[in-house]
Amino acid sequence: MAKYESITMASFSNNTRNNHGFHFQLVFALVILASCCSLVSSTSILGKVHVFVMNSLGASKKLDIQCSSSEDRLGFRALHDGEIYDWKFRVNFSGSTKFVCFMAWINDNNEILSGTFLIYKHKRDRYKCNGDCLWHVKQSGIYFVDNAGYREEQMFTWPTPPPSKSSNHPKGKE
């Protein structure tokens, strides 16, 4: 009987050690799974992002816009007042995703105002946007809209238009 008890105790002792190893592996696997799940959240790497750019220049002001990243060319659009240009994408694995937009419009003085603006930069916007990035394009500049508090923050101003060709020539001379 003593021989049977020693075999049983040894088996129990080995099973306990194996169970601790199993529990450790289970906890480790759960930590890895949780980390992977956070990779696909909207604020982190590989998360989905939805960008909205709204023409808020005012009545009869058309906004020409073309956006792109190093991986995607989104095409040209002409937006009337209140119209929105939007697109969805996934942040790349390295977290270096950027989208730039060329925008142009004609002001009341018939001057073309244009510029290229960094509309999405993952390292700058991942916590500001929380998956949805809203921009208002106004005559005074381009504004990021905080989707939590609906506050506007001016991020860019329009470059000064070049002097008109007529101002380069003295009056009466060609």
pLDDT tens by residue, 11-55: 545 555 556 565 555 444 443 433 343 344 444 455 688 899 999
- Say how far apart CA 109 and CA 169 lie, in whole Å: 19
Higher pLDDT, 38 or 68: 68
Three-state DSSP at 133 gives strand
**Spans of all domains in the chain:** 1-39, 48-156
Cα–Cα nearest to 84, from 101, 108, 109:
101
**What pLDDT was estimated at residue 159?**
86
**What pLDDT was estimated at residue 63?**
96
Higher pLDDT, 165 or 145: 145
pTM of the complete model: 0.66
Higher pLDDT, 173 or 122: 122
Q: Identify whether the C-beta of residue 117 lies closer than 8 Å to the C-beta of residue 101.
A: yes
Q: Identify whether the C-beta of residue 136 lies closer than 8 Å to the C-beta of residue 154.
A: no
Q: Identify whether the C-beta of residue 99 lies closer than 8 Å to the C-beta of residue 19.
A: no
Other CB atoms within 10 Å distance of the CB of residue 129? 22
Fold of the 48-156 domain: Immunoglobulin-like (2.60.40)
Other CB atoms within 10 Å distance of the CB of residue 167? 8
Strand order through the sheet with 98-106: 73-79, 63-68, 98-106, 112-121
| pLDDT band, very low/low/confident/very high, at 164 (cuts 50, 70, 90) | low
Average pLDDT over residues 128-143: 90
- Say how far apart CA 36 and CA 45 lie, in whole Å: 10
